[in-house]
A and B are shown apart, each in its own frame.
Chain A
Amino acid sequence: MKTSSRFLLSLASLSLLAGGCATLGQAVKVGGQLSGYHELEDMGGSMEKASRDFTEEEKYYIGRTVAATLLADTPWKSAARLTTYVNGVGSTLALASSRPEMYRGYHFAVLTGKDGNAFACPGGFIFVSAGLLDICRSEDELAAAMAHEIAHMVLEHPVQAIQASHQREAAASLVKFGLRKAGESQGELQQLTGVFDNVVKDVVKAVAQGYSRDKEQEADLLALDILIQAGYHPQALADLLGRMAGHSGYHGDPKDRARKVSEALASRNTPALWSEREKRFKQISGHI
């Protein structure tokens, strides 16, 4: 390393303390950007990549392939009216959450599956099955199922499901290839695609099979906050879970989850039900 680079690295480190950057890598990168020393910026980027999570853009591309894998098993019900409706419900919930925006926005869709299920893929792809829509008795219950999936997204559960060894492999590869120009080597691209494949498989498994009891409960509790913020009645989540016990597909023990949701709701002020929502839900469910 050149003396000048060392000098700037020291300054960048100082800025870490002074400026409150989250990591030394960030500080070095910012130092490099500001000083025009691209080597230093790259080094900071490399340090940062070694310790960081996936970027929003990377999560989006992981999510796209996870979503494509789910769509290969269960086709999309592409009726325009149905799609607009679930996107109305979903967008209202997303705006009421702490993750109102994803890299390329949220995408809500209904799949043809008969099981009562819903899926949250990284990057904002949220699917509910036609079977789940059949089980729901109101828009508020559908919103409850979707709020639970948005909560998984907010809590980053799909990305956390990537096995530690694959996370390390991905971090190492992104450090190794992250500084190379995009078109440099086909071999490197294939290696990176192999790493991508491992990551996608881990996420597909988690999204399809569900999470640990603790994570499902964490998502239930956050879903209550999202529902209340949005104006939906949160009791709908307990009602829906209470009826899921006899249905296949939904994750965890629905009765236990319903009991915990009801306990959490006991001390909360909740929005009122609204008949207009029930009317439009009935209209839509009549089309499924």
Chain B
Amino acid sequence: MKRLSLCCVCLLLSLTAAAEVRYVQVEKARLLKRASNFSTLLALLPYRTPVEVLGKQGAFFSVQTRQGKGYLPEASLNVVRPRITSQSSAGEVTSDEATTATKGFSAQVESEYRQKNPDLPYAVLDRLETQTRCPNPQTVYATFRKQGKLGEFQTGGERP
């Protein structure tokens, strides 16, 4: 009974600690140096990566990750680790998890839907998605913002 109680306490403590862990719910989450979306990018964290929450600052969580400390937008994290659905290619997926992938609104459902709706231009959408994909917009579009005095570069301006 004593042993059981000890197990209870240990498990309860570990569960309590688990509440401080959140999981990346986007394909690539940007780990930032400061609590600002225009801040320096430290790393891109893959889907389902666990991070330890150290604190909250506005719409950002201060987090500890394998890549070090930094900030992540609140909206990019979830308290629950996302499930693996069929054909999911993103994130930290172990082989065990991949074999137990479950059904959901996923690539598998889309594939079935495409067969039933062959006139929908998914090929165009795929091309559009490839052309517009940008996991790191604060770096890729920095010149665009600088030229337009936008984001981190806004310092007043002139009337045209």
Contact = CB atoms under 8 A, between A and B. Distances in A.
Q: Is the interface on chain A under 10, 10 to 19, 20 to 34, or 35 or more residues?
A: 35 or more
A215 to B, nearest CB: 20
B25 A55 contact: yes
A178 B102 contact: yes
A91 B76 contact: no
A126 B87 CA distance: 25
A103 B158 CA distance: 37
A117 interface: no
A275 B160 contact: yes
Given A65-B110, A189-B109, A101 B102 contact: no
Given A34-B11, A274-B149, A18 B19 contact: yes
Nearest to A85: B144
Q: Is the interface on chain B under 10, 10 to 19, 20 to 34, or 35 or more residues?
A: 35 or more
A31 B108 CA distance: 29
B81 interface: yes
Contacts of B101: 181-182
Chain A binding surface, main DSSP class: helix
A264 interface: no
Nearest to A12: B15
Given A231-B149, A274-B157, A192 B109 contact: yes
Interface string B57-92: 001000000000000011110111111011110000
Interface of B: 8, 11-12, 14-20, 25-30, 37-38, 59, 73-76, 78-83, 85-88, 99-110, 112-113, 116, 119-122, 124-125, 127-129, 131-135, 137-138, 140-141, 144-145, 147-151, 153-154, 156-160
17 contacts: A15-B19, A21-B79, A27-B15, A30-B18, A56-B78, A64-B129, A80-B131, A88-B145, A95-B138, A177-B103, A180-B103, A182-B87, A182-B101, A189-B109, A271-B157, A273-B159, A274-B157
Interface of A: 8, 11-12, 14-15, 18-22, 26-27, 29-31, 33-35, 45, 48, 54-58, 61-62, 64-65, 67-69, 71-72, 75-76, 78, 80, 83, 87-88, 91-92, 94-96, 98-109, 139, 170, 174, 177-183, 188-190, 192-193, 196-197, 199-200, 230-232, 271-278, 280
**What 4 A-B pairs come out closest when comparing CB atoms?**
A19-B19, A182-B86, A15-B15, A231-B154
